[in-house]
Amino acid sequence: MESVATFKVTAASIACNGYAAGKERPQKLLPGRCRAEHYEVPFLPTKDTPVTRRSPRPIAMIIVALAVTACGPKVAPVIGGANPGASGQTASSSAPSTPTATPVPVVVTASIADGATLTANQRIHVNASGGVLGTVTLKAADGSVVADATGVSTWTSPVDLAPGQPFTLEVVTTDSAGTPSTFTRAFTSGPPAHELKTDITPYGDRTVGVAMPITVLLNHDVARTDRAAVEAALTVESDKPFGEGSWAWLSNRELHFRPAEFWPANAHITVHSQLSGVHAGLGIWGTTNRDVTFQTGRAMVLRVNDATHKMTVSIDGAVVRTIPVSLGKTGFETRSGIKVISEKFVQYHMQSATIGVTDKKDPNYYDVVVPYAMRITNSGEFVHGAPWNKLIGKADASHGCTNIPLADAIWLFNRVLMGDPVITTGTNKQMEGWNGLGAEWNYGFSYWKTLSAL
């Protein structure tokens, strides 16, 4: 005979010593044990536990879906429905494992192949599917960052990359499991949409006067926002010191350089144009570097005094000739200020129509070929021979030009250089800062520097 324990089954627990609620279910157990579904707990008979003797019969299993709480320490679960007491062995099982999700990658595509060379104005487009572009970095060959972005699904390269240069595009993404990956493209930028070119004067190997400004003419307009970069790429050096100098922008396409005072005589002056790679506006890039070297000759200066009707010519500070003059009469006054020899002609056809006089009966009408003419303004002033003017050295009788005797005109014509200054004083009309080569000398240097972009 084996022991039979009487115990209760409730929604919360199984008690092995008596019962208070639930249905009495005698079960055949091994001595000293009580059992619920998949768990075995110790059973210790007490004095309150009725024990009877019965004939041997199969042991029944009680299936309980709730946890055992009152039967003592838990032990390993029993697998299957066999009688564990019969064999004295206990089986175990593991909790079912959660399936591991396959990481979802971010797929990156670019509009160019690795190693591509772009065309003019071509832009690169990068897209992400399955996520976002974590970081996008575009670097130049020197490692500097040209453009970057974070956390975007699409990216487009800047519109104006430096032309003909190598770049590296790097995109870092992270898949759904947090694993990073890198996507790269190496490429070379294309040519510029517009190439910035320069015309620099004086031209190389020319010998000019000491008042000759340096002029740079550009083939494209340069906005104020881009002028500093262009100006910084233009530098001037001389084998003789010239003191302070400055560039000035006279228009969107023209800038001049002049020192505070005239150039030193017999100096070699070089303009360095380092515009390659300089961005001068949307689609406008400099692509070439070049140097232009010229030299100044002797320091020849012509000084005209209307009060004395004389011109004094000095070379390197010494007066070498005094020439009588006749300047512009009332209504046609000669300008006072600094003018510069820009052209010279053995003969030059002059017509009064250029000053608004077309009636041949008008006493101011003229149509004449003048000898040994040397231009000093764009508006039409010349120094020239005037053999018909009988008032030279005595009074002002011209229509604005500086008339001199024919012999003096020949002498002067054979000696002057483009860039020699002509300084006129004593008239009641002032020279304009725009009116001819070297007209900028009529600006004070402090004002001149304000026209620089630097």
pLDDT of residue 94: 55
The number of beta carbons lying within 10 Å of the beta carbon of residue 149 is 16
Q: Are 163 and 190 in contact (CB under 8 A)?
A: yes
pTM higher than 0.75, yes or no?
Answer: no
- Whether residues 16 and 88 fall in one domain: yes
- Domain total in the chain: 4
| 330 exposure class (CB count in 10 Å sphere: 0-12, 13-18, 19+) | exposed
Q: What does the pLDDT look like over 170-222, one tens digit per residue?
A: 999 988 888 899 999 999 999 999 999 999 999 999 999 999 999 999 999 99
314 with 422, same domain? yes
Shared domain check, 46 and 127: no
Looking up tokens 């320490």 gives 73
Domain boundary residue among 38, 67, 96?
Answer: 96
Domain annotation covers residue 315: yes
Check whether residue 310 and residue 432 sit in a common domain: yes
* Other Cβ atoms closer than 10 A to 373: 21
For residue 90, is it within any domain? Answer: yes
- The yes-or-no verdict on residue 73 having pLDDT over 60 is no
Whether residue 307 sits in one domain with residue 232: no
The reply to whether 169 falls in a domain is yes
CATH number at residue 400: 2.40.440.10
Do residues 275 and 309 both lie within one domain? Answer: no
Last residue of a domain, one of 296, 316, 335: 296
Is residue 291 located within the same domain as residue 400? no
Q: Give residue 130's region: left, alpha or beta (phi > 0; psi -120 to 50).
A: left
**Is residue 127 included in any domain, yes or no?**
yes
Domain assignment present for residue 444? The answer is no
Region 421-448: mean pLDDT is 97
Angle in degrees, CA 161, 163, 165, rounded to 5: 90
Whether residue 102 lies inside any domain: the answer is no
pLDDT tier at 49 (50, 70, 90 boundaries)? Answer: very low
Are the C-beta atoms of residues 184 and 114 closer than 8 Å to each other?
yes
Is residue 161 domain-shared with residue 201, that is, in the same domain? no
CA distance 155 to 258: 47
Average pLDDT, the chain: 85
Cβ atoms of residues 131 and 174 within 8 Å = yes
Torsion of CA 19, 21, 22, 27, to 10 degrees: 0
pLDDT tens for each residue of 299-320: 999 999 999 999 999 999 999 9
Domain that holds residue 13: 1-96
54 domain residue, yes or no? yes
Q: How far is CA 15 from CA 4, 19, 72, 348, in A?
A: 14, 7, 10, 133
Same domain, 81 and 121: no
Residue that terminates a domain, selected from 72, 96, 120 = 96
Look at residue 447 and tell me if it is in a domain: no
311 & 433 share domain:
yes
Whole-number Å distance between alpha carbons of 191 and 172: 29
CA 294 to chain centroid: 34
Q: What is the pLDDT of residues 382-416, one digit of tens each?
A: 999 999 999 999 999 999 999 999 999 999 999 99
Same-domain pairing of 271 and 326: no
Q: Are 342 and 421 in contact (CB under 8 A)?
A: no
Spatial separation of the C-alpha atoms in residues 204 and 290, rounded to whole Å: 11
pLDDT, greater one: 428 or 98: 428
Which positions ≥6 away from 338 have C-beta within 8 Å? 211, 421, 422, 423, 431, 438, 439, 441, 442
Contacts of 269 (CB under 8 A, 6+ apart): 214, 236, 237, 238, 239, 242, 263, 293, 294, 295, 296
Contact yes or no for 169/110 (Cβ under 8 A): yes
Tokens of 245: 């100098």
Q: In this model, does residue 132 exceed pLDDT 60? A: yes
The CATH number for 285's domain is 2.60.40.3710
Query: Is residue 308 domain-shared with residue 427, that is, in the same domain?
Result: yes
